[in-house]
Amino acid sequence: MRLAAVESRNVTCQEPLPPIFWERAHASNVWDADGNRFVDLGAGFGVAGVGHAHPRVVEAVARQLARLPHAMGDVHPAVAKVELLEALAARFPGGVPARSVLGSSGSDAVEIALKTALLATGRPGLVAFEGAYHGVHQGAVSLTSSRHYLEFAGVPRQRVFRLPYPYSYRFPFPVERRGDESKIVLRYLEHLIEDEHSGLDDLAGIIVEPVEGEGGYIPPPGDFLPGLREIADKAEAPLIIDEVQTGFGRTGKFWGCELTGTTPDIMCV
Ligand SMILES: Cc1ncc(COP(=O)(O)O)c(C=O)c1O
């Protein structure tokens, strides 16, 4: 295959069948290289939340490209950057004043969130969830639960405390009532933090997806994020909400965490 000849083998899934190559897309439709038309129910991993090639997005990108394709980062910043950061700040959940660091991918955002949490607390301990996907950069890949990505990254997993995501259909422990999974997870997390013999005496942050994406599109019970918020407050550690896949209206609210009125300390978008 032409792609396999020029791309590292760890990027595109080539097995058991070669992938369908996309050629173009419009609104909710995608056409492959053979001209077959598909309905993109995944909205391009959430990137095409307003549909592929929405005319207003195309026009805005074209306008900016024609006007100023690249500024000089921290030396001569673009006016458009100020406008973007102001728009993001105005949208931060809970109306809290917010400042941003721009990156070029979701993995960048998670990497920056990690550094921020470690800097703010001076502690290294991280809590993440089973089934989580937080990207593949050197730090972020340790938060992603699948071994698959870690093996391809070629780095050892950093120390991460991992708890089950409260998934009603595939939860490892018995529960009396559906929806009680979150209570078990929250109680166990509290125990880990409170018990001086648990090994988690250095919490730097808790990172969570408001709806677990790659893990299977799992909306958690409604008390899960608010419960994490309380635990993080008590532990004086940041709650990092990864909205890379749930943000920008994907869940019906602008941010997924707004479904339960939860305000993060750090948000990845
Ligand atoms: C929740 C979540 N976080 C982080 C990432 C990483 O984003 P990127 O692929 O842009 O690095 C993804 C990608 O799908 C994601 O779904």
DSSP string for 104-143: SSHHHHHHHHHHHHHHHHS--EEEEETT----SSTTHHHH
Distance 244 CA to ligand 1 centre (A): 6
110 and 118 Cβ atoms separated by less than 8 Å: no
Domain ranges of the chain: 2-66, 69-100, 101-268
Which tens digit of pLDDT belongs to each residue from 164-173? 999 999 999 9
Confidence of residue 94 (pLDDT cuts 50, 70, 90): confident
Distance 194 CA to ligand 1 centre (A): 31
Q: Is the shortest distance between the CB of 45 and ligand 1 below 6 Å?
A: yes
Which tens digit of pLDDT belongs to each residue from 25-38? 999 999 999 999 99
* 22 DSSP β-pair partners: 32
In angstroms, rounded to a whole number, what is the distance separating the alpha carbons of residues 5 and 150?
23
Which tens digit of pLDDT belongs to each residue from 202-257? 999 999 999 999 999 999 999 999 999 999 999 999 999 999 999 999 999 999 99
**Architecture, CATH, for domain 101-268:** 3-Layer(aba) Sandwich (3.40)
Q: Is the shortest distance between the CB of 245 and ligand 1 below 6 Å?
A: yes
Strand order in the sheet with 22-26: 22-26, 29-32, 37-39
Contacts for 147 with CB less than 8 Å, ≥ 6 apart = none
Q: Is the shortest distance between the CB of 267 and ligand 1 below 6 Å?
A: no
Confidence of residue 24 (pLDDT cuts 50, 70, 90): very high
In angstroms, rounded to a whole number, what is the distance separating the alpha carbons of residues 144 and 154?
14
The atom number, within ligand 1, closest to the CA of 214 reads 16
pLDDT for the residue numbered 175: 94
The residue with tokens 């070669």 is 18
ipTM over 0.90: yes
Q: Which of 133, 211, 251 to mutate to test the pocket of ligand 1 (most atoms within 8 A of CB)?
A: 133
In angstroms, rounded to a whole number, what is the distance separating the alpha carbons of residues 110 and 108?
5
Residue nearest to atom 8 of ligand 1 (CA): 106
Confidence of residue 44 (pLDDT cuts 50, 70, 90): confident
Distance 135 CA to ligand 1 centre (A): 5
